[in-house]
A = this chain, B = another copy of it.
Amino acid sequence: MKSVAVRNIPRAESQYIEALQSQGVATVHEAQGRTGLLRPYMRPVFGGARIAGSATTVLAQPGDNWMLHVAMELVKPGDILVVAVTADNTDGMFGELLARSAKAQGVVGLVIDAGVRDVRDLTEIGFPVWSRAISAKGTVKATPGSVNVPVICAGALVTPGDIVVADDDGVVIVPRLHAAEVADKGRRREEDEAVKRERFKSGELGIDMYDMHDSLREAGLVYVDSGDDLEP
């Protein structure tokens, strides 16, 4: 594997990033056709955060956080660091000092398919992180990887400059060129859900609202009055 650091990457317009942030992961994921989601083992270190930003990507060796320092040199304010590792690993590749550094560079959060540590400090500082694990296990700086190349992070392809949206539901990636379209679809989805929300709250049933009776019957669903009517 060649080790490359790409200095300049394209980034999406901030209006789309902001729109996607306000919509959140579940809505964005639906709006782009149920694609781009990271595996659900990626969990936030502390709850309640919702962020969006441009992906600065890192491909690291297991147990080696050298490339994070290279990435920190290349980020721009508003970026989110997305770290993939060449083999499954849970070592604590990121902690309080790197979080201080990231904050100072304007990074808004970290998504890492490995472990992090100093979670009490990360929480106090308010630097949001989504990770595979929490581990105090320290790392070496021995083998280089790459920065700002396409990576596969927790099962999703992330191209540098893609938009990352992360909240309590997980992490979703929106390809940069789709940002405007997805933001627009997400907005319409929110409007649609606002109407449905009121109908559900008033007690209307989804089976009526979505007119499912016929399709359920055609698909073979049969109603019986009691469990005694089931075959033995």
Contacts and interface: CB of A to CB of B under 8 A. Distances in A.
A79 interface: no
A156 B149 contact: no
Copies held by the complex: 6
Contacts of A126: none
Interface string A49-90: 010000000000111001011101100000000000011111
A58 B95 CA distance: 29
Given A6-B230, A136-B169, A144-B221, A115 B206 contact: no
Given A207-B72, A222-B5, A138 B34 contact: yes
B148 A152 contact: no
Contact of A3 (B40, B222, B229): B222
A92 interface: yes
B136 A33 contact: no
Given A69-B205, A104-B202, A169-B134, A221 B3 contact: yes
20 contacts: A2-B220, A4-B221, A4-B223, A6-B227, A8-B225, A9-B226, A9-B227, A66-B212, A70-B216, A72-B205, A92-B169, A96-B197, A98-B206, A104-B200, A104-B202, A105-B203, A119-B168, A134-B168, A140-B142, A144-B216
